[in-house]
Amino acid sequence: YINSLGGSQDFYGFVLAIYSFMSFCGKPILGRWSDATSFKIPYMVSISFSVFGGFLYAIAPVFTNNQTALASIALGRIFGGL
């Protein structure tokens, strides 16, 4: 998918790593928020971020500029990791 949009192997590795990194950074914050309040609101925020990230990932081929499409994929993975 990334290669078809003009991305390099290095960018492919970045996209794979950024999801895990954002999950590593975001889950403890959501966990503390969930402990302080009920779990429903943090859970819905997390699901909303994931849906938005999936949307950005899915619409990447719509962009005519390859750099914009690749940025959309990276942002989608960032939001998906949260």
Contact 72, 4 (CB under 8 A): no
Residue 63's Cβ-count burial label (10 Å; 0-12, 13-18, 19+) is: middle
Contact 1, 73 (CB under 8 A): yes
Amino acid letter, residue 51:
V
Compute the average pLDDT of residues 57-67: 84
How far apart, in whole angstroms, are the C-alpha atoms of residue 15 and residue 42? Answer: 25
Q: For the segment 22-43, what is each residue's pLDDT rounded down to a tens digit?
A: 889 988 888 888 888 888 888 8
